Amino acid sequence: MHYVVLGAGPAGVVAAETLRTADRAGTITLVGGEPEPPYSRMAIPYFLTGKIPAEGTHLRKAPGYYDTLGIGFRQGTAEGLDTDAKRIAFADGSHLHYDRLLIATGARPVRPPIAGLERKAVHHCWTLEDARNIVTLAEPGSHVVLMGAGFIGCIVLEALAMRGVNLTVVEMGDRMVPRMMNPTAGTMIRKWCETKGVRVLTSTRIKSLQSVAAEKSRGIFGFLRRKEAPRDSDTIDVELDTGEMLAAHLVVVCAGVKPNTDFLEGSGIRTDGGILVDRYMRTSANDVYAAGDVARGYDFSTKGHDVHAIQPTASEHGRIAALNMAGHNVQYNGSLQMNVLDTLGLISSSFGLWDGVEGGEAVEVVDHDAYRYLCLQFKDDVLVGGTAIGMTQHIGCLRGLIQAGTRLGPWKERLRRDPMRIMDAYVAHSQMA
């Protein structure tokens, strides 16, 4: 039996390891699409801040680790998949046959259609290579513009600020982390960042990125530029839709991601904003499974399928997929929308249906001065979603009650009167369980 695991991120690596445990004799090939050993994108911010070297991002650090497990590791970018012939075609012209295949190719950053995005000092923050480029340019005192304040953007924001750069964040939504935080919470995070010296522009779009040379030849932007902006030949002029021009040594683009599914065109594998999988992580093609950021896994809070682009979900997808590939019959319990952010020391989190449900009820407590916020979303007497800022002690309880789908009974009314009793509610129900 030849198992091929396409993609060497957390989903792929956990899958390869699980396959080895479940099938001692099978041949396992793990394929990575980048010229690096398998690594964790989640560790990139620690590399950016200098806490770890590039090797610190590697998912497994022991020398010869994959060889010892009998896992063959190779690099290659898949360009096509023939599910009848069970053959993967790679960009270098080579092919690989599989008996069972796991697609764990993750996602890649979206490139918004903005003129000048190809400039040298413009980078995404997705790969280790991106991170190395950012480290070179994000020196203390340099001017950096960060496009996008979503989940990844906010993680990168923290790392850039810790590098001592002059940071301006440009977010087209009306608040920070709009897909994770409601207006009260997103605005609170913005104000917090501003107190820490980061300039945050919401409801603002970047129109174009121009080099100084281009600007000189046109000679029209000088009067709009911020006075403190640096000027040298490497500077990029960032044109905003407000008319303002920002000069930057580096522009980091965090404008969302999309799943790496292009190579599946013509393969017959069904996709819809991600590969469609069943509860066993099977795709629509025989002997082909999918896991991680590329897959729309089961979401137990909505009972539908969605991409939950976080590492714990990717690893669990990989584990379940591998067990099924090796002949076990294991259903994936499902994941929950779950995001926890540390933004310059302010911890925010949202879980499940944090934005509420039709016919549901919400309660909230907010202390703007102390940067504390708690919002609970109910459907009948079940807590279906929640948002917390500045209250780390409540995060586990919030998640626990949502994840368990606990019927709160009389505790619903108590929480409606005082949402801060979330921990008491959790303890009361843990004792009943």
Q: Rule CB under 6 A: which residues touch ligand FAD?
A: 6-12, 31-34, 41-42, 44-45, 77-78, 104-107, 125-126, 152, 155-156, 260, 263, 292-293, 309-312, 314
Of 354 and 378, which CB lies nearer to ligand FAD in the complex structure?
A: 354
User: How do 295-299 and 304-306 pair as beta strands?
Assistant: antiparallel
Closest CA to 242 of 199, 296, 285: 199
Of 23 and 293, which CB lies nearer to ligand FAD in the complex structure?
A: 293
Tokens of 80: 């096509």
Give Cα separations from 176 to 157, 181, 190, 226 (angstroms): 11, 8, 6, 23
Spatial contact of 210 and 222, defined as CB atoms under 8 Å apart: no
Of 56 and 410, which CB lies nearer to ligand FAD in the complex structure?
A: 56
Could you give the CA distance from residue 336 to residue 320 in angstroms, rounded to a whole number? 16
The string of DSSP codes covering 171-220 is -SSSSSSTTTS-HHHHHHHHHHHHHTT-EEE-S--EEEEEEHHHHHHH--
Smallest distance from ligand FAD to CB 332, Å: 14
Smallest distance from ligand FAD to CB 310, Å: 3
β-sheet with 206-211: strand ranges across: 206-211, 236-240, 245-248
Residue 393 has φ and ψ, to the nearest 5°, of: -65, -20
Of 260 and 406, which CB lies nearer to ligand FAD in the complex structure?
A: 260
Residue 239: alpha-carbon gap to chain centroid: 27
Smallest distance from ligand FAD to CB 9, Å: 2
Smallest distance from ligand FAD to CB 370, Å: 25
Of 235 and 260, which CB lies nearer to ligand FAD in the complex structure?
A: 260
Residue 91 has φ and ψ, to the nearest 5°, of: -60, -30
Of 77 and 184, which CB lies nearer to ligand FAD in the complex structure?
A: 77
The string of DSSP codes covering 9-66 is SHHHHHHHHHHHHH-SSSEEEEEESSSSSSB-GGGHHHHHTTSS-GGGGBS--STTHH
Of 38 and 116, which CB lies nearer to ligand FAD in the complex structure?
A: 38
Smallest distance from ligand FAD to CB 142, Å: 19
β-sheet with 346-352: strand ranges across: 338-343, 346-352, 382-389, 372-379, 361-367
Smallest distance from ligand FAD to CB 404, Å: 21
Smallest distance from ligand FAD to CB 155, Å: 5
Of 189 and 247, which CB lies nearer to ligand FAD in the complex structure?
A: 189
Smallest distance from ligand FAD to CB 293, Å: 4
